[in-house]
Each structure stands twice: as C-alpha cells, then as structure tokens.
C-alpha cells in the first residue's frame, strides 16, 4: 500500500528491438542513444511510471497555435522516426508568428549529437535576439 499520495515508482527506461521484451522505445537510434556508455552520475537509466504515462499523452502539436505571441524556435531533425518529421513540420505550419525553423540532418537524437553545434548555435542566436 502506498503511504504517500504521490509516491514515486521507478522503472528501468527500456529500449529493445525484440517485441517480446517490454520497452519504452524500439527505434534503433533510441536504443543507441539511451544505452550508450556514460560516466557514473551523468544519467541514470530510470524513469517514473508517472512520467511514462505523461509522455504517452504529450501532444505539443495540438497546442502549437496558442504559443504565439511567444517566439517559437523549432529544431527539427529531417529523418526523425520518433517524433516524425512530417508531423513536426505540419505543426510548424500551424504555428503563428513569430517563428523560425532550423532543420538538422539526421534522426531524433542528432540535434544533441552530430548536429549539436548547429542546433545549439541556432538556440544561442535565437535567445540573443529575443533576450538581448
């Protein structure tokens, strides 16, 4: 029995290609990203059950037209098979101004990896323009 109203229940953040194994992600790039070796203390392979439910319900494209007048910078990977490039670009088209797209060649995690220089430079410039 839970003694706290919002007890935190942790589970492993599983990735697997084999469909007989329970997993959060099955895409090859997700498996490579989440299972890459990292130094101790940098990242722990745990996620709350509550977070997995919230992630399944997350639909930012549904609300994108309400972001304006807040400036929107959208960094989109051109071959994203996790959040799906075509859905991201369709959401961008529904967004109102001010908005700016940045495309990064590659999959979902490439803005954090091979495309990090481009994506982070775009973000820094965006914030400099907006925040002074």
Residue with tokens 């990292």: 38
Question: Which pTM value belongs to this model?
Answer: 0.76
What is the distance, to the nearest Å, from the Cα of residue 61 to the centroid of all Cα atoms in its chain? 13
List the beta bridge partners of residue 103: 76
Write out pLDDT tens, residues 37-90. Answer: 889 888 777 777 787 788 888 888 889 999 999 999 999 999 999 889 999 999
**DSSP secondary structure letter of residue 64:** G
Tell me: do 2 and 25 sit in the same domain.
yes
- Enclosing domain of residue 10: 1-58
Q: Count H helices and E strands in the chain, helices first.
A: 4, 4
Q: Are residues 46 and 104 in the same domain?
A: no
Of 58, 85, 102, the residue that ends a domain is: 58
What is the pLDDT confidence band of residue 29, given thresholds at 50, 70 and 90? confident
């Amino acid at each position: 029995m839970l003694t706290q109203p919002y007890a935190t229940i942790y589970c492993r953040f599983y990735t697997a290609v084999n469909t007989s194994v329970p997993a959060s992600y099955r895409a090859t790039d997700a498996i490579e990203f989440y299972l890459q070796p990292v130094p101790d203390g940098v990242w722990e392979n745990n996620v709350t059950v509550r977070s997995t439910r919230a992630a399944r319900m997350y639909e930012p494209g549904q609300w994108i037209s309400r972001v304006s007048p807040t400036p929107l910078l959208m960094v989109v990977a051109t071959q994203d098979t996790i959040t799906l490039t075509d859905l991201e670009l369709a959401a961008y088209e529904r967004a109102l101004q001010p908005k700016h797209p940045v495309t990064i060649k590659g999959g979902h995690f490439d803005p954090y990896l091979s495309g990090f220089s481009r994506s982070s430079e775009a973000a820094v410039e965006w914030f400099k323009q907006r925040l002074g």
